Amino acid sequence: MEGSHCVASPLSATAFMSDIQVDLATRNGRTHTLGCVLVDSELDLQRFERALSTHTLVALDTESNSAHSYASRICLMQFAMVRRCWDGRDSELELWLLDPDRVDVRSLVPLFADPNRRFVMHGAQSELGYLHKEFRIRVANLFDTQIAARLAGWTSTSIGSILEDEFQVHQSKRVRMSDWGKRPFTASQLTYACGDVAYLVPLYRKLFRCLSDCDRLAEGLAHMEEVASADYSRVGSRDKTFWDHQTTKQVSLKHMGVYKSLWEWREEVAQAWDRPRSRVVTDKVLLSLAHDQPTTRRLLEQCKCLDRRQVRLLGDDILSCIQQGQSQRVAVRPFKPSTTSITDRRELGLFNALRKWRLGKSNERGIDPDIVLSKHSLKAIAAEAPMSVAALAGYHILPDWKLEQYGQEVVEIVQGFSQVSG
């Protein structure tokens, strides 16, 4: 591209043939007018696929309808691609908004799987799971700006905070929580969608330099590769039983029959209405109803946990569930070995010693403790108590790069604890 087309602004669109114009306002009074293409036909998809195939650095974000549907799904995919001039500056921003309800996204799978194409995402783990679940998409080359920001020691690492702090752009929470499953998209939604992805490439460049300067780039890339290659085969699975949900643990056996009856009824209604469980009735309401167990509409109204509309629409079903639950015998909660608590005193002592070491290491490096080692890793190490780096490697608890970085120190903690505890 000719040098005369280069511009200094991080966001510009000089030659990109867009269909829609959006205005991104900043806190300092400036407005970035950007063009984007809404990909909602097979012809548009072919055009986008050709464009994507020519880029090796692509920002990606998604919007879902999790606040409005029983089963969350991806409703929009946003892409930002930047061309570079001969002098290394960005010159041309392309924004593409892809509607997976209208086009077959699976045709793009090979482009995501190309290791020579880097995808920039923010807090990618959840989105990668749903991309794989819905479209069998796996990203081979990931740069997660949230991981990078945390590794760089930034205090605020949500995308909203970073857009405010680094680019003076405010994104509306109301629009973020809107129903992305409805069509057509509103002008506010299109503007929000563009704003969420447009700044990821300049943010990537800044964080890439930052990690390079503090000699943490290799560590960051290894962490990101671990996220990209994780097993996402069970994402979105709804095969949890009634007993697996956290609120069930708050219910006494005396109230369990009614609570179970109400819980199963809510599950059926949420699926039939395609709404989140909480938009039928909340967990707090279920707990209250199970405890009070009103048996008439008048008593139900006196509970004050339901509004008049809910009593009118759902009252008969709720009273029926309570009646059924009172006569229903519920088996004792099935025993399930805990995966979160440690019962062995020696193991708990080693876990606490490792956690103390991790806190010191995180303070030393200026990063969050879980970036050093996860709680799950500490528990696994405490359970096995490896006395050498080779033994630690044999348990496959840590990836190779973390084993190299922290393995010797971890083993020294284990050895020291073993000597003290006898």
In a structure prediction context, what are the per-residue pLDDT tens digits for the chain, which is 422 residues long?
A: 333 333 335 555 445 667 888 888 787 778 888 889 999 999 999 999 999 999 999 999 999 999 999 999 999 999 999 876 555 565 678 999 999 999 999 999 999 999 999 999 999 999 999 999 999 999 999 999 999 999 999 999 999 999 999 999 999 999 999 999 999 999 999 999 999 999 999 999 999 999 999 999 999 999 999 999 999 987 766 556 788 788 888 888 889 999 999 999 999 999 999 999 999 999 999 999 999 999 999 999 998 899 999 999 999 999 999 999 999 877 666 655 555 566 788 999 999 999 999 999 999 999 999 999 999 999 999 999 999 999 999 999 999 999 999 999 999 999 999 998 86
Q: Say if residue 289 is exposed, middle or buried (CB neighbours under 10 Å; 0-12, 13-18, 19+).
A: buried
Examine the domain organization and report whether 169 and 273 are in the same domain: no
pLDDT of residue 33: 83
In a domain, 278, yes or no: yes
What confidence score (pLDDT) does residue 7 get? 36
- Of the candidates 182, 199, 228, which is a domain's last residue? 228
- Alpha-carbon distance of 266 to 268, in angstroms, equals 5
Q: Is residue 312 domain-resident? A: yes
**Beta partners for 143?**
120
Kind of pairing, strands 118-121 and 142-144? parallel
Which residues have a Cβ under 8 Å from the Cβ of 65 and sit 6 or more positions away?
72, 73, 75, 179, 180, 181
Q: Report the 10 Å Cβ neighbour count for 249.
A: 9
Same domain, 221 and 254: no
**Residue 333 covered by a domain:** no
In a domain, 336, yes or no: no
Residue 81 in domain: yes
The pTM is what?
0.85
For the chain, the domain total comes to: 3
Identify the pLDDT of residue 4: 34
219 and 154 assigned to the same domain: yes
237 falls within a domain: no
Cα–Cα separations (whole angstroms), residue 377 to 7, 18, 264, 382, 392: 47, 48, 35, 9, 11
Tell whether 86 and 222 lie within a shared domain. yes
Q: In a 3-state reduction of DSSP, which class is residue 229?
A: coil
Among 326, 353, 371, the domain boundary falls at: 326
Q: Name residue 170's amino acid.
A: H
Does residue 177 share a domain with residue 50? Answer: yes
Q: Which of 79, 192, 200, 187 is nearest to 131 (CA)?
A: 79
φ, ψ of residue 70 in degrees (nearest 5): -65, -50
Is residue 312 within a helix (H) or strand (E), and if so which, with residue range? helix 308-326
- Residues 370 and 412 placed together within one structural domain of the fold: yes
Alpha helices in 236-307, H assignment, sequence order: 253-273, 283-292, 297-302
CATH number at residue 16: 3.30.420.10
Among residues 326, 358, 391, which one ends one of the domains?
326
Q: Does 249 lie in the same domain as 203? A: no
Residue 354 belongs to domain spanning: 345-421
Query: Are 177 and 29 part of one and the same domain?
Result: yes
Residue of 16, 24, 152, 175 whose CA lies nearest to 90 = 16
Same domain membership, residue 384 and residue 262: no
Q: Are residues 44 and 172 in the same domain?
A: yes
Q: Give CA angle at 119 (93, 89), nearest 5°.
A: 40
Give the residue from 120, 121, 138 showing the smallest Cα distance to 129: 138
Report if residue 262 sits inside a domain: yes
- Give the chain's count of helices (H) and strands (E): 18, 7
On whether residue 373 sits in a domain, the answer given is yes
DSSP H/E element including 276: none
Instruction: Indicate if 66 and 125 belong to the same structural domain.
Output: yes
* Sheet containing 142-144, strands listed edge to edge, beginning at the edge strand earlier in sequence: 20-25, 31-39, 90-98, 74-84, 57-64, 118-121, 142-144
205 with 319, same domain: the answer is no
Provide the CATH number for the domain around residue 365. Answer: 1.10.150.80
